[in-house]
Amino acid sequence: MKKFYDKLFSGITYGAAFFTIAALVGIILSIFTEGIPILKKVGIFSTLFGMEWRPVDDPPIFGMWTLIVSSIYVTIGTLVVAIPLGLGSAIYISELAGRRTKEIIKPIIELLAGIPSVIYGLVGIVFLSPFVMDTFGAPIGLNMFSASLILGIMVIPIISTMSEDALNAVPQNLRDASLSLGANKFETIYKVIIPAAKSGIIGSFILAFGRAIGETLVVLMVAGGSAQIPKSIFSPVRPMTAAIAAEMGETVVGSDHYSSLFAIAIILFFITFFSNIITELVFFRKKKI
């Protein structure tokens, strides 16, 4: 009887794992079967590098380059905001803060990760957008800068928690050795601890990158939505995820426009797929050392 329950239990867990994989395969298959027709019809090159995204004009033009560039710029902006703040707070929590401060700050930063993205979006529209217009004299508050800033704050917890784990994992004797050789705290952190925790820190950056490029709601609400190559950091942009979310609701199923949205999904899939693989590789190397 005991054996039966063991078998049943392993069967159920196997089923759960199998179902997850089946769902993933199903998602991949469906975005490819829906997205490939437009790539065949228009051609991969002119779809990827076409400068104009006018899916409902007559005749329609499906050039995704502006969307891809928008996504990349917003993501770079996000990392520019999040890396100094996230890594800085990780270093402070791990290396400099006393126990009491550490116990207060750490959960507060982690709380940021629990706020739903729609709330970030609302804050962006209602508070950040007028602020950006007043402070920087930008003609429009819904732009690349606002989206990057909001997304940056959103991914801080990813960078800070993971980097902090990596810093904590650095053996104490390395710190002691460095300090006893006469290095000060800054030199110890900068020259010994960070290099030792490098792979974990880079892993956190890549994870943050994947989160930022896949985030939809915030960019839909705050990025402005113009399909153009931005002229300045205050230009409104239309990242890939926002284009899919905004347009999918009202396209005709099976049309070229519908298919082109799935083609965007294919590009997004490849980007996140490779960033995940790189993360895995970075961590795999870390474990081997």
Which residues of this chain interact with another protein, rule CB under 8 A? Answer: 52, 54-57, 66, 125, 129-130, 133, 139-142, 220-221, 224-228, 235-236, 238, 246-247, 249-252, 257
Measured N-to-C along each axis, helices 198-214 and 65-91 cross at an angle, to the nearest 10 degrees, of: 140
Report in angstroms how near the CB of residue 265 gets to another protein at its nearest: 16
Nearest CB to another protein, comparing residues 52 and 165: 52
What's the closest the beta carbon of residue 258 comes to another protein, in angstroms? 10
139 vs 121: CA distance, rounded Å = 20
Residues contacting residue 165 through CB under 8 Å, at least 6 positions apart: 200
Assigned token pair, 247: 């347009």
What is the rounded CA–CA span in Å between residue 89 and residue 106? 9
CB of 213 to another protein, least distance (A): 20
Shorter beta-carbon distance to another protein: residue 257 or 286: 257
- How far CA 156 is from CA of 15, 70, 182, 183, in Å, comes to 36, 21, 33, 29
Q: Is 187 helix (H, G, I), strand (E, B) or coil?
A: helix
62 or 205: CB nearest another protein: 62
List, in order, residues 6 or more apart from 60 with CB less than 8 Å away: 54, 256, 257
In whole angstroms, how close is the CB of 115 to another protein at the nearest point?
A: 21
Between 32 and 65, name the residue whose CB sits nearer to another protein: 65
Q: How far is the CB of 229 from another protein (least distance, A)?
A: 8
Q: Which residue's CB is nearer to another protein, number 141 or number 210? A: 141
Q: How far is the CB of 85 from another protein (least distance, A)?
A: 27
Q: State which residue, 12 or 177, has the beta carbon closest to another protein.
A: 12
Alpha helix stretches (DSSP H) within the chain: 2-42, 44-49, 65-91, 99-113, 117-123, 129-136, 144-168, 172-180, 185-187, 194-196, 198-214, 217-222, 240-248, 256-288
